[in-house]
Amino acid sequence: MPCCSLVPIHKDQTVNVIQTHLTLPEGWTKGAVMALISEVAPHIGLRPARLAVLNYIIGRTRASDWTSPHREPVFFGTQDLAAVELGKTSRQLRTDEAALAKLGLIVKRVAANGARYGRAGLGLILTPLIARLEEFIALRDRLRAERRHLRALKDLRSLRLRHMKRCIAALPSSAIKDPEIVKILASFDKWPRSDALSRLGLERLNAHLKVSSDLCNSLEDWLENHGLSSDQPVENFRPFTQNTREETQTVETPPAVDNSERHAEIAQSEPPSSISCPAPPALTPENLYRIAGDGLRMMLDASRDQNRPLKERDIIEAAWALLPMLDIHASVWHEGQSTLGDHGLAFCLLLVDAQRDHPSYPVRNPGGLMRELIRRAKAGRLDFDASVAALQKRRNGVR
């Protein structure tokens, strides 16, 4: 409620003077303000030393003053004591306070001699922080979105780096004499190191990703033109059609996540049918597109080069891009990398996405199902062939 005081006008009259102050939005505290300012500090010209001073000032205000319309958050502490506690001279602290005021983060309201009095409301006023809260929240959200975008671009480059290495491993020894391969390998050697990608900036990183995609296409085309494939199993690589079932191995069933184990069973088998289902054809990218769910198809339609046939790399990159849309953390993909590789993980993601429109048992926890499939793969109990057959039955309307 606003703070009201009665001010006499003359003998028989008074008038209400309403005094209100800005307050933090509901749910916000001064601790949350400190965390927010700390996150955006480098982007508002606030150096670490002065951030420490601002946090010291905020920390010594009353928490209730940030949420009460009757009072302002004010630091009344003496400059000499604050300087001692901050390990500064009084002159250094005065300079810091002046800089904070210039940045629009505080207002210095002190007596002529610099004194500060709580009863007189004299001190370092922190109301400007409340006034700029929405600005700083918007800045924080933009910075977080940029970091997520940068992380996604770096992860995409990692997918292409692994793809290039797989393709290079599939090259015959005689290929090193081919001028086109020599040119491709020379371009690949110029790719920036993974730990240098953050320093490129978004514009240069996007340009590099365009170059990396073109180079992947060139190497894929060379392999296809010479009757070769990048799908030859190499270290830590499993093609889409790999069957990970180990018939001779006895493994305890891993614990289920929610109902994920039940969904994993459904993903690999359907109720018996009186109609015979032919053996699944080779899992070409086009076949995978036909049996995929709406989510993966949408990602493929949005990202694929319509002037080129669908490639397995397109499936992998679309599956990776689909992770956040299914609320699956990227760490799940990294967790399964050593067991399934990018191809196997992309196929697992395809199964998870396709399971969302199951007529009887639609999956409600895509992340849990993805983890369950990875656990089964690690235990040697994930049968891709059975999963393909079950999914094809459903896509063909077989019950």
Per residue of the chain (399 residues), give pLDDT as tens. Answer: 344 444 444 444 444 444 578 999 999 999 999 999 999 999 999 999 999 999 999 999 999 999 999 889 999 888 889 999 999 999 999 999 999 999 999 998 877 666 676 666 688 999 999 999 999 999 999 999 999 999 999 999 999 999 999 999 999 989 989 999 999 999 999 999 999 998 998 899 999 999 999 999 999 999 989 887 665 433 333 444 444 333 323 323 333 344 555 455 544 444 333 233 333 446 788 888 888 889 999 999 888 777 788 888 999 999 999 999 999 998 999 989 988 999 999 999 999 999 888 878 888 899 999 999 999 988 888 888 888 888 888 887 754
Distance in Å from the first CA to the final CA of the chain: 65
Judge whether 131 lies within some domain: yes
pLDDT of residue 237: 32
The answer as to whether 392 is a domain residue is yes
> 107-109 and 123-125: which strand pairing?
antiparallel
In a domain, 151, yes or no: no
| Boundary (domain end) residue, out of 135, 164, 185 | 135
The answer to whether residue 243 sits within a structural domain is no
Per-residue pLDDT at 5 = 42
* Cβ partners under 8 Å of residue 60, min gap 6: 75, 77
What H or E segment, with its residue span, contains residue 75?
strand 74-75
> HEC profile for 96-118?
HHHHHHHCCCCEEECCCCCCCCC
Number of domains in the chain: 2
Residue 113 has a pLDDT of 61
3-state secondary structure of 13: strand
Query: What is the bridge-based pairing of β-strands 107-109 and 13-19?
Result: unpaired
Specify if 73 maps to a domain. Answer: yes
Residue 207 lies in a domain: no
What is the domain extent for residue 92? Answer: 30-135
Does residue 337 sit within a domain?
A: yes
* H or E element at residue 6: strand 3-10
Residue 102 falls within a domain, yes or no? yes
Could you give the C-alpha distances from 22 to 2, 66, 99, 110, 128, in angstroms and in order? 10, 8, 23, 20, 9
CATH of the domain at 60: 1.10.10.10
Instruction: Out of 135, 169, 192, pick the residue that ends a domain.
Output: 135
> Measured on CA atoms in the order 133, 134, 135, 141, is the torsion positive or negative?
positive
pLDDT at site 128? 94
DSSP three-state, residue 149: helix
Quote the radius of gyration of the chain (alpha carbons, Å): 31
In this structure, what token pair is assigned to residue 144? 């977080």
Q: What is the pLDDT of residue 230?
A: 60
d(C-alpha 215, C-alpha 225), whole Å: 15
**Domain closes at, from 108, 135, 162:** 135
Buried b or exposed e, range 350-363, using 16+ CB within 10 angstroms: bbbbbbbebeeeeb
- The pair phi, psi for residue 200, each rounded to 5°, is -70, -30
The model's pTM? 0.71
Return d(Cα 309, Cα 149) in angstroms, integer: 27
Question: Which pLDDT belongs to residue 120?
Answer: 62
Q: What are phi and psi of 97, to 5 degrees?
A: -65, -40
